[in-house]
């Protein structure tokens, strides 16, 4: 009998947030907009960490970064725990052919992540689109083993100034409300638009190849990204601008065309959702749950909250938090952290140069509480408001219980980086390339890592 399980094509861009046309941002992404029109668009889907590797690790494992071990960037030594299993491994064990094209940022070895084949090692959108398009056009429809393709693109990661990208008109871009409307921001948002169009064009090549090969009806297509855009107050911070991520899913005959869902979701939910679509039982120790019924017309109990975190990026940035439909609560663990942390690529950019003085002029508060209905940009911290003391205490207790139940190592004290990251920080500090002096916590953690 032919295998009737769906093929899965998963398209992942870098640092894109929800800055696509179908999310009403003014960015031109016609192919992804068309995918959303033919499938489901999830409007309140969030990542577990507003940074690359930890968020991607949650997508692949269905578990929080402090549970799967990937609490920092893979290229500076952070690794998934040896017992962690990833999406491609589950699918491969169930009889899927598993392929990687382009970017992955979860570990040095694609085979460890479950990919049996690498279609393309280059990470730019043009190369990835061409490689996946060729694969799909050569694939026989109807029958044989189903396939899983992870198509990862470098775009829309900084830098934005490649000659192959034509920028938008700065005067016509829509500046998000959480950013100052100044020339530096407008210019970089315009440049971002060029990368978004390149990623969209690559997605179009893949979707056209699916249709030309008569594979579209048998294929679940997923588009997503890792976290918010690489601009101040987004990437690297746990405000909604950093946690918000696009998710579009098309599965002809199963997912209603043009569906839009506003339920609160986390990217730990994507793995169990895809496993259910493939008919694979989800392990019991996942942090996410399948929302497949939500987009296929079944019954699904929506989340009333999500958790999020950050530990290490290029600097120590420890925080944990909880978001509901109405409130955001953030607990910060380094009293020397700047009010708004800017990852190095943002800090050194024109946008970072124009804003870092205001963001680095004061330290971050220990607690942050925001009323998301009254203050959607998360500008008014209510954690010290006596009228909100009980509510703040309630969120603190919920967060403490979650950290304890998931055995968060941050409860035992500050978390040292891998030796590779400690050595890199020492080298950059000596060369004067760090974005500000090392904090006392960072210095002690580096010493601990180098012992």
Q: How far apart are CA 193 and CA 20, in angstroms?
A: 9
The conformation of residue 415, written as its DSSP 8-state character, comes to -
Q: Are residues 80 and 123 in the same domain?
A: yes
Domain residues for 316?
A: 309-450
Same domain, 273 and 328: no
Q: Into how many domains does the chain fold?
A: 2
pLDDT surpassing 60 at residue 1: no
- Per DSSP bridges, beta strands 265-266 and 219-225 are unpaired
Same domain, 288 and 350: no
CATH of the domain at 129: 3.40.720.10
Residue 438 lies in a domain: yes
> Strand 259-261 to strand 265-266: parallel, antiparallel, or no bridges (unpaired)?
unpaired
Cβ atoms of 52 and 225 within 8 Å: the answer is no
* 79 shares a domain with 161: yes
Residue of 376, 411, 352 whose CA lies nearest to 180: 352
The verdict on 151 and 281 lying in the same domain is yes
Shared domain for 299 and 318, answered yes or no, is no
8 Å CB contact between 328 and 371 = no
Is 2 among the domain residues? no
Q: 3-state DSSP: the chain helix, strand, coil percent, rounded to 5?
A: 35, 15, 45
| Same domain (yes/no): 286, 315 | no
Instruction: For 68-85, write each residue's pLDDT tens digit.
Output: 999 999 999 999 999 999
Q: In this predicted model, what pLDDT tens digit does every residue of 184-242 receive, in sequence order?
A: 999 999 999 999 999 999 999 999 999 999 999 999 999 999 999 999 999 999 999 99
On whether the CB atoms of residues 373 and 326 are closer than 8 A, the answer is yes
Q: Following DSSP, what letter does each residue of 104-129 receive, concatenated?
A: --S-S-GGGGT-SEEEE---SHHHHH
Same domain, 299 and 315: no
pLDDT at res. 232: 98
Same domain, 151 and 300: yes
299 and 330 co-located in one domain:
no
Given pLDDT bands bounded at 50, 70 and 90, which one contains residue 2? Answer: low
Of 270, 305, 340, the last residue of a domain is: 305
Please state, in angstroms and rounded to a whole number, the distance separating the CA atoms of residues 87 and 90. 5
Percentage, residues of the chain above pLDDT 90: 94
Spell 97-118 as b/e; 16+ CB within 10 A means b.
bbbbbbbbbbbeebebbbbeee
């Amino acid at each position: 009998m032919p295998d009737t399980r769906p093929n899965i094509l998963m398209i992942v861009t870098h640092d894109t947030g929800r800055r696509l046309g179908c999310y009403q941002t003014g960015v031109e992404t016609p192919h992804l907009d068309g995918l959303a029109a033919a499938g489901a668009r999830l409007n309140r889907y969030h990542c577990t960490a507003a940074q690359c590797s930890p968020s991607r690790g949650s997508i692949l494992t269905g578990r929080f970064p402090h549970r799967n071990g990937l609490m920092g960037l893979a290229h500076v030594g952070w690794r998934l725990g040896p017992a962690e299993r990833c999406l491609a491994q589950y699918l491969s064990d169930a009889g899927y052919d598993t392929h990687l094209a382009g970017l992955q940022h979860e570990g040095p070895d694609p085979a460890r992540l479950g990919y049996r084949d690498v279609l393309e090692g280059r990470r730019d959108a043009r190369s990835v689109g061409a490689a996946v398009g060729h694969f799909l056009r050569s694939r026989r429809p109807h029958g044989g083993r189903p396939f899983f393709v992870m198509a990862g693109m470098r775009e829309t990661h900084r830098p934005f100034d490649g000659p192959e990208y034509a920028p938008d008109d700065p005067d016509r871009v829509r500046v998000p409300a959480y950013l100052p409307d100044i020339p530096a921001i407008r210019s970089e948002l315009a440049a971002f638009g060029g990368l978004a169009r390149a990623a969209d064009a690559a997605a179009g090549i893949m979707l056209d190849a699916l249709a030309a090969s008569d594979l579209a009806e048998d294929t679940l297509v997923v588009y997503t990204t890792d976290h918010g855009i690489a601009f101040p107050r987004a990437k690297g911070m746990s405000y909604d601008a950093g946690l918000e991520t696009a998710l579009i899913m098309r599965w002809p005959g199963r997912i209603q065309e043009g569906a839009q869902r506003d339920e609160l979701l986390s990217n730990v939910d994507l793995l169990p959702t895809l496993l259910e679509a493939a008919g694979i039982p989800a392990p019991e120790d996942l942090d996410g749950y399948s929302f497949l019924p939500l987009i296929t017309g079944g019954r699904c109990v929506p989340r009333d909250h999500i958790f999020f975190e950050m530990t290490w990026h290029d600097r120590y940035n420890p925080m944990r938090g909880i978001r509901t439909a109405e409130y955001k609560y953030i607990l910060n663990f380094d009293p020397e952290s700047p009010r708004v942390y800017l990852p190095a690529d943002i800090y050194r950019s024109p946008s970072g140069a124009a804003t870092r003085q205001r963001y680095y002029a004061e330290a971050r508060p220990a607690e942050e509480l925001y009323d998301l209905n009254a203050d959607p940009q998360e500008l008014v911290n209510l954690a010290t408001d006596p009228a909100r003391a009980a509510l703040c205490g309630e969120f603190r207790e919920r967060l403490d219980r979650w950290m304890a139940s998931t055995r968060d190592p941050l409860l035992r004290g500050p978390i040292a980086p891998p030796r590779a990251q400690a050595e890199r920080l020492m080298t950059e500090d000596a060369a004067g390339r760090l974005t500000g002096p090392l904090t006392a916590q960072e210095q002690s953690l580096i010493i601990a890592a180098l012992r």
